[in-house]
């Protein structure tokens, strides 16, 4: 609001009111109180939001004017107030002008858009800066940790073990959300911070952009075409000096911090929701998990096959390979087909490979109902330079699937016609008009009606286009998995699209032995990778933390739950000591071999064997003793094709 304009407009009426009221408004002390009618004059000028303020001011004016409070002349007060206001405005103008000149000529600036990964790096880093976190203008964010995050192990088991049933045997985590501290980041506006001995200025600004739904944002096409406003944030980082190098250094630092312990983790990404996906860029993929790297040796597979895949991918990812491919005019792509029965390790190997090569894994399910062919191409288009793309269960995608959903309304009409001419469908009763339908018919009909946005799936050509079309990103490792390789179209698995096939089978005796040994070997050895290197510890754990973890783990183990004959029975600490006593390597080898001899080769998937062992995870001898019974029950169950397990 411009004070001058306001005053100029109000002054004539003000003066008139004051002179009219001059005689009658003189107080006992000879001072002038506030003239009647002035409130009515000013109120419309200032707007309704200023009315309470104006009323308070009037009251003050009257009190001051009556000499009760200060005995000051109210007109002097009003003038002072006006000067103060104008002075403040003037100072702001001068400050902004000087700041603008300084920023333009003496400062370097870099802008970051919230659509870019760098925005995340910066925000994560800012949340860790004590100087900023203690600032007075913050935005609080709820954070939730994944099961994999190291902090989870810090949970004080003694506190969380006060179970709802009061027994103290079962762990209780009802308090976990309350214990998770919120994250604080600088709020919208301007902040200052120091990095590397330099002062930086950060400006967070939010803007609303109108998106007409035509898929403009990020270059990806809109799937639902609904126009809407979208919020976008802009970070402006500036520092004194004409070179932006210090800011570049800061950005590089935030990026390094963000990925600091990622070498011990595999990042899993999936397509984002349809609405967010259309903004493209980093919005295409949703970061769903960060798992600890799966050591290659935990995947039980024929060693020759494993080495073949590993060396093939290693060769492909070598920095000299792109030139080699380019010189020969071959597209830089490599595709793998992992096929075999369910639970034989196809997904596990994909994750282990991503871990070995330190790549993020991008998982796409072609069954995702909202995934269109354009989306698929856009998703392939926004892949990073090197990554693993896991296309799961490609046989179940819309490729060779019969059209289960009939979207054609004319067919519906035809059926309805048929039903009426035939006297209605099963139990339709008489005329077959909608009114005569029974509830069952109605339910069936509702099931048949697809949702308006339901898709038929991805066609073969759509998938091929995404895999090796113009939009396809070169440099990625594409892994496709299937349980039914024989149903796949030849075009999909021709060389160039699938360069190496890996067959997975149900467990052999050797694999059963390996699974057993892996399950019961000492925990310490499981932290080594395939290369025999020790996994680096997360930065924040020190010796004290380690001790804390050890105690927590031991307590957890003491409170562990045992399985007896398919039923869970809690056992007290110290019981069954002989069973729990860890095995010497020789004993373990011996028991593993005995166990393997009991497993019929090629009948059980590694997942099934792992499931059996997991339920006896601290009792190798018991697992060995109960193996015969389990095998017999499983063979019977498979023969009778029942899904109900008699022995677990």
Ligand X SMILES: Nc1ncnc2c1ncn2[C@@H]1O[C@H](COP(=O)(O)OP(=O)(O)OP(=O)(O)O)[C@@H](O)[C@H]1O
Among 64, 300, 387, 477, binds ligand X (CB under 6 A): 300
Does 344 participate in binding ligand X (rule CB under 6 A)?
Answer: yes
3-state secondary structure of 259: coil
For the chain, the residue count is 648
Residue 65 in the binding site for ligand X (CB under 6 A) = no
Q: Which stretch binds ligand X (CB under 6 A): 121-129, 294-302, 492-500, 571-579?
A: 294-302
Structure tokens at 37: 């009618």
Taking every pair of Cα atoms in the chain, the longest distance, rounded to a whole number of angstroms, is 116
* Closest alpha carbon to 63 in 53, 52, 74: 74
- Exposure of 115 by Cβ count < 10 A (0-12 exposed, 13-18 middle, 19+ buried)? middle
Among 342, 431, 536, 566, binds ligand X (CB under 6 A): 342
Q: Which stretch binds ligand X (CB under 6 A): 167-175, 195-203, 282-290, 340-348?
A: 340-348
Q: ∠ CA(477), CA(480), CA(486), 5° rounding?
A: 145
In the region spanning residues 608 to 627, those forming contacts with ligand X, defined by CB under 6 A, are 610
Minimum distance, C-beta of residue 295 to ligand X, in the bound complex (Å): 11
Q: CA 599, CA 603: separation in Å to the nearest integer?
A: 8
Separation between Cα atoms, residue 373 and residue 360, nearest integer Å: 23
Closest CB to ligand X among 239 and 361?
A: 361
Q: Is 74 in the site for ligand X (CB under 6 A)?
A: no
Cβ-count burial 560-577 (b if 16+ within 10 Å, e if not): eebbeeeeeeebeeeeee
The pair of three-digit structure tokens given for residue 289, joined into one six-digit string: 């998990």
Q: Smaller CB distance to ligand X: residue 247 or 480?
A: 480
Query: Pick from 571, 552, 546, 576: which is nearest to 560 by CA?
Result: 571
CB of 272 to ligand X, least distance (A): 22
Q: Binding to ligand X by residue 501, rule CB under 6 A? A: no
- Interface pick for ligand X out of 65, 355, 606, 620 (rule CB under 6 A): 606
Q: Given the rule CB under 6 A, which of 284-292, 345-353, 356-364, 445-453 is the region that contacts ligand X?
A: 345-353
In terms of CB distance, is 504 or 520 closer to ligand X? 504
Tokens (6 digits) for 143 = 């954070």
Q: Which residues pair with 503 in a beta bridge?
A: 339
Site for ligand X in 557-586 (CB under 6 A): none
Q: For ligand X, which stretch binds (CB under 6 A), given 136-144, 273-281, 293-301, 578-586?
A: 293-301
Closest CA to 41 of 56, 54, 24: 54
**Interaction with ligand X in 152-181: which residues (CB under 6 A)?**
none
Name the one range near ligand X by CB under 6 A: 141-149, 155-163, 491-499, 604-612: 604-612
Minimum Å gap between C-beta 504 and ligand X is 6
Which position has the token pair 């096939």?
501
Burial tier of 190 (Cβ tally within 10 Å: 0-12, 13-18, 19+):
middle
Cβ 367 to ligand X shortest distance, Å: 12
Report the residue from 17, 25, 114, 347 that binds ligand X according to the rule CB under 6 A: 347
Q: How far apart are CA 430 and CA 447, in angstroms?
A: 23
Q: Are strands 361-365 and 265-271 parallel, antiparallel or unpaired?
A: parallel
CA angle 415, 420, 424 (to 5 degrees): 90
> Closest residue (Cβ) to ligand X?
345
Nearer to ligand X, 251 or 512 (CB): 512
Please, what is the minimum distance in Å from the beta carbon of residue 297 to ligand X?
10
Structure tokens at 506: 């149900």
Element (H, E) at 299: none
Kindly state the number of chain residues that form the binding site for ligand X, as judged by CB under 6 A. Answer: 17
User: Residue 277 or 346: which CB sits closer to ligand X?
Assistant: 346
* Closer by beta carbon to ligand X, 274 or else 483: 483
Question: Which x/- pattern, by CB under 6 A, does the window 200-219 give for ligand X?
Answer: --------------------
Q: Does 266 participate in binding ligand X (rule CB under 6 A)?
A: no
- Name the minimum Å distance from CB 480 to ligand X: 12
Q: Is 348 in the site for ligand X (CB under 6 A)?
A: yes
Minimum distance from CB of 158 to ligand X (Å)?
31
Q: Please state the closest distance from residue 581 (CB atom) to ligand X, in A.
A: 26
Alpha-carbon span 588 to 513, nearest angstrom: 10
Is 17 an interacting residue with respect to ligand X (CB under 6 A)? no
Q: Which of 566, 567, 572, 578 is nearest to 618 (CA)?
A: 578
Contact (Cβ atoms closer than 8 angstroms) between residue 181 and residue 244: no
176 Cβ neighbours under 8 A, 6+ residues apart:
155, 160
The least distance separating ligand X from the CB of residue 361, rounded to whole angstroms, comes to: 13
The answer to the question of residue 238 lying near ligand X (CB under 6 A) is no
- The least distance separating ligand X from the CB of residue 489, rounded to whole angstroms, comes to 19
Q: What value does the CA radius of gyration of the chain take, rounded to a whole number of Å?
A: 36
The CB density around residue 395, as the number of other CB atoms within 10 Å, is 20
Task: Kindly state the smallest distance separating residue 610's Cβ from ligand X, in Å.
Answer: 5
Other CB atoms within a 10 A radius of the CB of residue 350 amount to 26
Q: Which stretch binds ligand X (CB under 6 A): 93-101, 467-475, 562-570, 606-614?
A: 606-614
- Minimum separation from the CB atom of position 617 to ligand X (A): 13
Q: Rounded to the nearest whole angstrom, what is the least distance from the CB of residue 305 to ligand X in the complex? A: 11
Which of 275, 483, 527, 529 touches ligand X (CB under 6 A)?
483
CB of 126 to ligand X, least distance (A): 38
Asked if residue 475 lies in contact with residue 386, where contact means CB atoms within 8 angstroms, the answer is yes
Find all residues with CB under 8 Å of 73, minimum gap 6, and list them: 31, 32, 65
Site string for ligand X, 429-468 (x = CB under 6 A): ----------------------------------------
Is 268 a binding residue for ligand X by CB under 6 A? The answer is no
Of 18, 239, 253, nearest to 128 by C-alpha is: 253
Contact with ligand X (CB under 6 A): which of 270, 277, 333, 346? 346
Cβ-based nearer residue to ligand X, 222 or 610: 610
Question: How far is it, in rounded angstroms, from Cα 348 to Cα 352?
Answer: 6
Cβ nearer to ligand X, comparing 223 with 348: 348
Binding interface with ligand X (CB under 6 A): 298-301, 342-348, 481, 483, 504, 606-607, 610
């Amino acid at each position: 609001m411009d004070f001058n304009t306001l005053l100029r407009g109000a002054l004539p009426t003000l003066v008139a009111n004051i002179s009219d009221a001059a005689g009658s408004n003189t107080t006992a002390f000879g001072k002038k109180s506030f003239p009647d009618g002035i409130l009515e004059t000013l109120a419309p000028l200032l707007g309704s939001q200023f009315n309470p303020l104006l009323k308070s001011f009037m009251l003050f004016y009257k009190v001051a004017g009556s000499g009760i409070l200060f005995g000051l002349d109210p007109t002097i007060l009003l003038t002072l107030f006006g000067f103060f206001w104008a002075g403040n405005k003037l100072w702001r103008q001068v400050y902004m002008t000087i700041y603008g000149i300084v920023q333009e000529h003496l400062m370097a600036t870099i802008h970051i858009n919230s659509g870019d990964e760098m925005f995340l790096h910066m925000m994560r880093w800012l949340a860790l800066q004590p100087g900023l976190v203690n600032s007075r203008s913050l935005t609080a964010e709820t954070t939730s940790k994944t099961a994999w995050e190291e902090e989870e192990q810090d949970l004080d088991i003694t506190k969380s073990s006060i179970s709802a049933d009061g027994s103290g045997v079962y762990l209780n985590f009802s308090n976990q959300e309350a214990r998770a501290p919120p994250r604080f980041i600088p709020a919208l506006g301007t902040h200052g911070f120091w990095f590397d001995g330099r002062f930086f200025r950060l400006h967070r600004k939010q803007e609303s952009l109108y998106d007409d739904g035509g898929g403009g944002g990020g270059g990806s096409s809109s799937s639902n075409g609904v126009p809407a406003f979208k919020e976008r944030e802009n970070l402006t980082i500036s520092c004194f000096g004409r070179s932006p190098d210090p800011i570049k250094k800061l950005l590089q630092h935030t990026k390094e911090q963000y990925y600091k312990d990622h070498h011990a983790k595999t990042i899993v990404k999936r397509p984002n929701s349809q609405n967010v996906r259309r903004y493209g860029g980093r919005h295409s993929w949703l970061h769903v998990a960060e798992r600890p790297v799966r050591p290659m040796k935990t995947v039980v597979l024929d060693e020759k096959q494993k080495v073949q895949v590993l060396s093939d991918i290693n060769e492909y990812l070598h920095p000299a390979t792109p030139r080699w491919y380019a010189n020969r005019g071959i597209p830089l792509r490599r595709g793998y087909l992992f096929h075999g029965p369910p639970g034989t390790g196809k997904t596990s190997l994909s994750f282990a490979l991503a871990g070995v090569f330190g790549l993020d894994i991008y998982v796409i399910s072609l069954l995702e109902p909202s995934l269109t062919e354009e989306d698929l191409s856009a998703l392939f288009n926004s892949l990073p330079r090197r990554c693993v793309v896991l296309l799961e269960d490609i046989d179940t995608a819309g490729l060779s699937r019969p059209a289960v959903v009939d979207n054609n309304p004319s067919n519906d009409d035809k059926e309805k016609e048929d039903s009426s001419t035939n006297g209605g469908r099963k139990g339709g009763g008489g005329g077959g008009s909608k009114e005569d339908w029974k509830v069952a018919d109605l339910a069936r009909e509702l099931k048949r009606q697809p949702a308006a946005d339901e898709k038929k799936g991805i066609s073969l050509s759509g998938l091929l286009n995404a895999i090796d079309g113009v939009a396809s990103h070169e440099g990625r490792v594409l892994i496709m998995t299937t349980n039914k390789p024989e149903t796949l179209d030849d075009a999909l698995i021709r060389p160039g699209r699938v360069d190496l096939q890996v067959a997975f089978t149900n467990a052999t005796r050797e694999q059963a032995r390996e699974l057993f040994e892996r399950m019961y070997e000492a925990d310490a050895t499981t932290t080594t990778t395939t290369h025999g290197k020790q996994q680096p510890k997360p930065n924040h754990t020190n010796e004290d933390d380690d001790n804390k973890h050890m105690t927590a783990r031991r307590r957890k183990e003491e409170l562990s739950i045992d399985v007896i004959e398919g039923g869970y029975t809690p056992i007290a600490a110290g019981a069954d000591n002989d069973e729990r006593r860890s095995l010497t390597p020789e004993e373990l080898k011996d028991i593993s071999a005995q166990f393997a001899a009991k497993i019929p080769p090629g009948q059980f998937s590694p997942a099934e064997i792992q499931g059996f062992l997991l339920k006896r995870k601290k009792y190798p001898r018991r697992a060995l003793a109960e193996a015969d019974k389990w095998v017999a029950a499983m063979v019977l169950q498979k023969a009778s094709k029942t899904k109900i397990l008699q022995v677990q």
